[in-house]
Amino acid sequence: MAPEGSVPAPDTAPEALELGPDPSLLLVDDDEAFLRRLGRAMERRGFQVTMAGSVAQAVEAIAAHPPAYAVVDLRLGDGNGLDVVERLRERRDDARVIVLTGYGAIASAVAAVKIGAIDYLSKPADAAEVTQALLAQGGDLPEPPENPMSADRVRWEHIQRVYEMCDRNVYETARRLGMHRRTLQRILAKRSPR
């Protein structure tokens, strides 16, 4: 898995897509290079792209024209992408929203799905993955990943999820997981396993 801030690899020429009567797409990410690259790729697929680098810019774009589609990074410099998802749901409940997550944010991604996002993808997602997720119908199942998470990564994600559910309280998280506080602190201080 590539680091969170990396730029998606260029993809091949996109095929013609059935986007519906409103192909408007809002992309929200504070990684400017990733945002521009994904924006160009989605425009080639026929989307009318609006880009925002912050929660404030995204809220402004939603107020001006609530898009039919949105791709929102959960961790933004000026706030949380969940605020963008909620604001879009208030303005347009039929919008199809995908959230992007970096390492350790699976619990937040699940929360985003609960408030109205249709799916979440790990960063860096390429344009083909984003398009497939945005246009997937209810019964469509995504293909299994080429490189699924290792057992160590699954354990780490579970610890991160419980940690987030306990409002980042180390003592409470350690108690619920049945581990020593110092052991948990060491795990939390390390980068995620691959």
What one-letter code names the amino acid at 88?
A: L
Report the chain's mean pLDDT, rounded to a whole number.
Answer: 81
Does residue 145 have a pLDDT over 70?
no
* Model confidence band, residue 91 (pLDDT cutoffs 50, 70, 90): very high
* Model confidence band, residue 125 (pLDDT cutoffs 50, 70, 90): confident
Domains of the chain: 24-135 (3.40.50.2300), 151-189 (1.10.10.60)
Rounded CA-CA distance 85/141 in Å is: 23
Does residue 11 have a pLDDT over 60?
no
* Residue 25 CA: distances (Å) to CA of 6, 81, 131: 22, 16, 11
Residue 84 CB neighbour total at 10 angstroms: 29
What percent of the chain has a predicted confidence (pLDDT) above 70?
81
Lowest mean pLDDT among 23-27, 52-56, 90-94, 142-146: 142-146
* Model confidence band, residue 74 (pLDDT cutoffs 50, 70, 90): confident
Closest by Cα among 14, 22, 61, 37 to 124: 37
What is the total residue count of the chain? 194
pLDDT value at residue 183:
92
Q: Are 26 and 62 in contact (CB under 8 A)?
A: yes
pLDDT value at residue 75:
82
The pLDDT tens digits of the residues spanning 13-36 come to 445 467 778 899 999 998 888 899
pLDDT value at residue 176:
92
User: What is the DSSP track for 30-62?
Assistant: S-HHHHHHHHHHHHHTT-EEEEESSHHHHHHHH
69-73 vs 96-101, strand pairing mode:
parallel
pLDDT value at residue 6:
45
Backbone angles phi, psi at 15, to 5 degrees: -90, 165
**pTM for this one?**
0.65
